[in-house]
Each structure stands twice: as C-alpha cells, then as structure tokens.
Amino acid sequence: MTVAIKRPSQTQSETVSSSPNGTGGNAIEAERMSVFYGDFCAVRDVDMKVPSNKITAIIGPSGCGKSTVLRCFNRMNDLITSVRIEGEVLFQGQNIYDSEVDPVEVRRRIGMVFQKPNPFPKTIYENVAWGTRINGFRGDMDEMVERALRSAALWDEVKDKLQQSALGLSGGQQQRLCIARAIAVEPEIILMDEPASALDPIATLRIEDLMKELSEKYTIIVVTHNMQQAARISDYTAFFSVDDERTGNLIEFDDTEKIFTNPGQKSTEDYITGRFG
Amino acid sequence: MAIHRQQTLSQPADGLMPSGTAYHEQVAARQRRGRTWAIVFQATMLSGIVALCALLLNILNQSFGYVAIVNTIDPTELAVDGVPLNELPKDNLVEILEANISAGLMRRYENDMPFTERSREDVHDLILERVVEPQVQATWGLFDSIFARGSVFAEAEEQFPGSDVYFRSWLTTSFISKSQSSEPLRAGVRTAIFGSLWVVAITILFSFPIGVGAAIYLEEYAQKERLLNRLIQTNINNLAGVPSIIYGMLGLAIFVRILELFTSGAFLGIGDQSTANGRTIISAGLTLGLLILPLIIINGQEAIRAVPNSLRQAGFGLGATHWQVIWHHVLPSAMPGVLTGTILAVSRAIGETAPLVIVGASTFIALDPSGPFSKFTVLPIQIYQWTSRPQDEFRNLAAAAILVLLILLLSLNASAVLLRNRFDRSRAIA
C-alpha cells in the first residue's frame, strides 16, 4: 500500500525563506537523521532543512558522509543491504522512510545525477525517453525529449544525432545528458553527487551555469569537493566534518556568503581557509 | 644501455637502493627473467597447438585412404550384353537379383515393398548388398596412401590377391544421409545426427531459461549474506565439477525410472513403449540439461555481475522498479556474456557420452527419431560404439563420424557467435 506524496502547492514552492533553518518553503528536511553501515555510524543526527528552488551545497572533508547524506534524500542507500537509517526525512511533510512509502515513487520525484557520467548504452533519444516511458508518460515523446535536452543546454549539440549512441558523446555532454534524463521525469528536487568532478574546467563551467538556470525550476542539492564551486553557485552551504570515530556530523548550515565570509564555527573556518581538510 | 645516475641528483646516501652499474645489471637481470617467462608461455601455447594438430591429423588420416575390397561376384560378370551393371535398366536388375538370390529372400523383399514400386537405385543397392557382396579386406591411412602408395598396392596384391584397391573417402554425402548398418560400406550417421540435434534442442530449452532465471535471482534478488544463499552458491559451484557419469545415474534414476510414465510418452499414448521404456530423447535432453545447468548459472551470474553498478543506479534514480532495471538494462548488457557461457556449456553437452550410456542411448538403431519420446542414439555414442568394434574399417567410420561431430559443433557454435554479435551490435546502436 503506497501513500501518494502531496505535490507542493504553487504558493509554497514560490516562497523562499531567507534563512535555511527557517520554516516554510523547504523542499526536504532531515530530522535527527543517522545512517549506519552495519554497526558503524556513518553520519549522526543530521538536522537540515533544504529550501526550495535554491542551490544547496554540501561540503566537507573526504569520508565525512556528504554523499551518504545526499543519497538518503532519495532512498538510494536502500540499494545497499547493510544500510540502516534512523530519524526522519520529510518531503512535503511525509517521511520518505515510512513503511508505506514506495522508494520508486520517491526517486522519480527526487532525481539524481551521479559523479561519473553514466548514460545508458542506448541512443541519446532513448536515454531521455526511457525514464519517462517507464513512468507512464503518454504525451508527445519527441517534443518531451527536445524540451529536456534544451533545458540541459544540450539540444544544439545533439539535435542531428539523436539516434546515435550516447556513449559517443564527450564526458561533459554525457553529464548534461544525464541531467536532461533526470529532469525529463519532472522531479521536484535534483540531487547532484560531485557532478563536475570528472570533467575539465570548461565542461565544469557549463554544468555550473546549467545548475543556476535549473535552480529557477528545481531545488538542487549538490555535493562538491571544490569550495570555489560551492561559493560560486550555491545559495546555501552545509559543512560536514568527521569526528574521532569517523562519524560524520553537520557542523554548520547557513547562507553560502556567511559560511565563506563569517563562519560561526571554528572548524568551518579552518576547513574553508585550508588549515584542515 | 646503461643510464648512470648523476651524482648531482639528490639521492639518499645510505646505499640501500642500488645505483650505477649494479643497478643497470639488476634491471637487465629482471628483464631476462621476464623474457624467460614469455618464452615459457609461448612454448605452452605451441604445445597446445601441436596437440590439437596431432588430433586433427590422426582423424583425417583415418577418414580417407585406400581400401582393398573383394567382391563375391565381380560386377563385370553381371553385365548384360556388354552393358555394365550400373547402367542397366531396372527390369534387367530385377532379373539379375532373381537369378542370384534364394526365392525365399526374394519373397521377403517383395513383401517389404513390391519390386514394381521400388526405384532402380534401390534394386541396384540390393544387388550390391546381396549379390556383389563387397567385403573390405584392409584399409590404409591417408598418409600411407599418399606417401607409400607403392607399398600399399604391393601389400594388397600379396595379402589379398584379386582384390580391388581404390581410394575411398569415408566421409561422403551418403555417410551423412544413410542410417546405421552393420555393413561398414553402407553405414551412415543420419540417425545419430538427428538424435544429437533433438537432444541438444531439449537440453537448451530446459537449461537456458532455468539457468538464466537462477542467475538473475542469485545476483539481483538473493541476499548474499544469508547462510542459505551462500550454501546454494557453494553447491552450484561444486555441482559444476561433478563427473558427468553421476549425472547419468541421476538421469537414469529420475527421468528413466521414476518419471517413466512421462518420459516414455505413455501419458500421451505415444512413443515406442514396447522398447523405449523411458530411455528416450527427452530423458537424455533433461539429463544433459541438468549437467550443464550449473555452468549456465555460474556464467550467467558472472555476466550479470559484470554489468556496472552505475547503470543500475541510473535506472533506479529515474524511478524505475527493480524489474524494469533488470529487464531494460542489466539483461541486455549481460546477454552477450550469458550467451557465451551457454555456447560453451552446450558444446560440452553435444560431446557428452558417459551420461547417455547410462541413460540408455541405443547403440544400434536404424530408425530416425520422430519426436522427444523416441529411442535415440547420438554421435558420440555412435563413435564410441564403432571404435569398440574389432574390424579396422569401423575405426575409419568412427573417424569420419568424429569429423561430422566436429563440423556440427563448429556450425552450432558459429551460429551462436553470430547471434551474440548481432546482439552486441544492435545494443551499440540502440
């Protein structure tokens, strides 16, 4: 038995809170969320309210659980059998870890772009069309594919070779194709796990521009190792650190500007200024 | 060439790392060791090729060569008015037959099929069989026939005076199109070819869906940490190494004895119940299917495991169900690997002899199999049976049958490889 997750009302998605920890206009909220791999606690007690239609960056040293937290937001961690999650992740007021919520539905509404471009070994057209088809899309497929590719700023480059294999594209093009594929199923949130880390600086810049454009329509949560990138593109930044037991903790979550100019915590300042990391 | 490090380069002075000439010699020694191993590996490959060539040459040697034949009645004596036997019209042939065999035998042939309905070739064959009665006295190998032609003729002249010596290919079209016979000159493998094809078809139909299904379950659904699943996995790996004759015992016990009602076709009221008794094509096919099932499962699992996880995650990330991810992405990516494993497994099934001896393949059968509930023989059984005969000429037949088996195997493999490549290509585009 699945419970349909309520769509956000129009007013709700347009309201934006000034503070990330304010109320209202939050796309997704983690409440006392802890993640365990077997007995090992990977991330402890994360409280995080991610505002709608903004770019939120997650930064922190290696192994602090950035990606783990990101993957909790669309139940991607379910695919690993040993993972256990405590606490709640509220999406439109519904805990997505409730037993009656189907992860398939969650993942359609909260899309994901991965670190390494992973297009399907199919045509460019089919890469975009597949996700919508399996989800029961009944409209004009050609038009939908074009719209998604235009939104991902890829249309002009691939419009003449839609029936060619997606594996023939460059790394940057493949990653934009993955973004087109993700937005084709019309999610509300897009999770990006270091989407530009495998790309050259020019391709990275194009992805960053694209993310800014997309943030008008979607909520974007991006994990990045690159602090300049976080400073350039994000509206809010969450800083995670790792304690002596190798467990990740959310240290600080605030406006990007505040985090980078006037951090509230000593460890945030150390990490940002390069004294630790 | 020696590259001597300059002393100016910063180098730890403790002398623990070799330097200068000593280092150069040490590198040269390491390279020599590497080259030695390369030569060893080349030699192993060469010895493999030599062994294969020896096998092939041995088979070819026995498949072609001179034979010495003595006829009871020389065919030239049967010529009528100067017209040789093989050009005579049918009426003359019937007369010749009538004049040379007993009236009783003639009546039996008439009862089998009236002479008016028999073809000229049929009557001609009967004359060769009953009147001319060619007997193979001796055979020689291909190499003797080519390189020691003189001594072959001399030996034939000395030991079998009056014999016809001519070059004979044991692998002929009539060898493939004729059924089994106790006369080596007229024996063929048609029945065995049909038997092999039937058995392999049933083997594939049985083991491919079950094997791939089990592989999908074990790789995609089963929780690998659970003791039960680990136990199943270990046992499948072990089953792949169980000697084939044990599968034969299993097939005999289950398919031939316990399930006789089904495998004999009695539940449908068809099949040769008087003689087959469950020793049918379907029993053999299922037994071989069990034999190659572990191979197909293990190969299938490996192919599925080789599908990158990023592909699965991409599918899940778009809101696909587990089955949609398997059907649209995992299986198409794994299929070339699954097919390769199946090709190897089926090749093994075609060549299996021991389990079929136990299951009860007929060693002498002249009737083509008519369906899954027929008695049968297969090529390896036919070969085995011919090699165990005391007469030399049956060994030539066995060699020719081995060639047929190899050709059958290669053509089945080739078609499977073509199928796999088509799968690969269509995936690269679509």
Which amino acid belongs to residue B19? S
Nearest to B317 among A76, A119, A123 (CB): A76
Instruction: Look at strands A189-193 and A219-223 and give their pairing.
Output: parallel
- Encoded tokens for B58: 């041995």
Nearest to B328 among A79, A118, A130 (CB): A130
How many Å apart are CA B334 and CA B303, to the nearest integer?
Answer: 5
pLDDT digits (tens, 9 = 90+) for A164-179: 999 999 999 999 999 9
CA distance B301 to chain A (A): 18
Instruction: Give chain B positions within 8 Å (CB) of A120.
Output: 311, 314-315, 329
CB contact set of B121 (below 8 Å; sequence gap of 6+): none
CA distance B430 to chain A (A): 5
Question: In the β-sheet with A55-59, what is the strand arrangement from edge to edge?
Answer: A94-95, A83-91, A26-37, A40-51, A248-255, A236-242, A55-59, A219-223, A189-193, A110-113
pLDDT at B273 (0 to 100): 58
- Name the band, by pLDDT with cuts 50, 70 and 90, for residue B220: very high
Q: How far apart are the first and last CA of chain B?
A: 53
CA-based nearest residue to A251, from A272, A234, A231? A272
For residue A132, tell me if it sits in a domain. no
For residue A8, tell me if it sits in a domain. no
pLDDT at B372 (0 to 100): 83
pLDDT digits (tens, 9 = 90+) for A186-213: 999 999 999 988 888 888 998 999 999 8
Domains of chain B with CATH codes: 65-173 (no CATH), 190-429 (1.10.3720.10)
Share of chain B above pLDDT 70, in %: 94
Stated length of chain B: 430
For residue A43, tell me if it sits in a domain. yes
CA distance A237 to chain B (A): 24
Q: Is the pLDDT of residue A3 over 80?
A: no
Tell me what the mean pLDDT of segment B196-225 comes to.
93
Which position has the higher pLDDT, B292 or B127?
Answer: B292
How high is the ipTM of this complex?
A: 0.86
Instruction: Give chain B positions within 8 Å (CB) of A181.
Output: 314, 318
Instruction: Give chain A positions within 8 Å (CB) of B427.
Output: 121-122
Which amino acid belongs to residue A192? M
Instruction: Give chain A positions within 8 Å (CB) of B426.
Output: none
Tell me if B319 and A116 make a contact (CB, 8 A cut-off). no
Answer whether A21's CB lies under 8 Å from A253's CB.
yes
- Name the band, by pLDDT with cuts 50, 70 and 90, for residue B426: low
The mean predicted confidence, pLDDT, of chain B is 86
For residue A15, tell me if it sits in a domain. no
For residue A200, tell me if it sits in a domain. yes
Q: Is the pLDDT of residue A20 over 80?
A: no
pLDDT at B275 (0 to 100): 60
- Bridge partner residues of A223 (DSSP): A58, A193
pLDDT digits (tens, 9 = 90+) for B265-301: 777 777 665 566 788 899 999 999 999 999 999 999 9
Question: What residues make up the domain containing A245?
Answer: 24-120+187-272
pLDDT at A14 (0 to 100): 36
Q: What share of chain A is helix, strand, coil (3-state, %, to 5)?
A: 35, 25, 40
Half-sphere exposure of A173 (CA within 13 A, CB side): 16
Answer whether A235's CB lies under 8 Å from A55's CB.
yes
Tell me if A79 and B428 make a contact (CB, 8 A cut-off). no
How many Å apart are CA B48 and CA A177, to the nearest integer?
Answer: 49
Nearest CA in chain B to A192: B317
pLDDT at A95 (0 to 100): 92
Q: Is the pLDDT of residue A8 over 50?
A: no
pLDDT digits (tens, 9 = 90+) for A91-111: 988 899 998 899 999 999 999
CA distance A111 to chain B (A): 6
Q: Is the pLDDT of residue B345 over 50?
A: yes
Nearest to B314 among A118, A126, A163 (CB): A118
Instruction: Give chain B positions within 8 Å (CB) of A112.
Output: 313, 317
For residue A217, tell me if it sits in a domain. yes
Q: How many other C-beta atoms can be found within 10 angstroms of the C-beta atom of residue A154?
A: 24
Kindly report the CATH number assigned to the domain that includes residue A72. 3.40.50.300
Q: Is the pLDDT of residue A36 over 50?
A: yes
How many Å apart are CA B399 and CA B73, to the nearest integer?
Answer: 29
Number of domains chain A is built from: 1
pLDDT at B10 (0 to 100): 54
Tell me what the mean pLDDT of segment A6-10 comes to.
44
For residue A35, tell me if it sits in a domain. yes
* Token pair 């992805």: residue: A207
For residue A38, tell me if it sits in a domain. yes
pLDDT digits (tens, 9 = 90+) for A124-162: 999 999 999 999 888 899 999 999 999 888 999 999 999
Tell me what the mean pLDDT of segment B372-399 comes to.
88
Burial class (CB in 10 A: 0-12, 13-18, 19+), B53: exposed
- Name the band, by pLDDT with cuts 50, 70 and 90, for residue A13: very low
Instruction: Give chain B positions within 8 Å (CB) of A74.
Output: 317
Tell me what the mean pLDDT of segment B57-85 comes to.
82
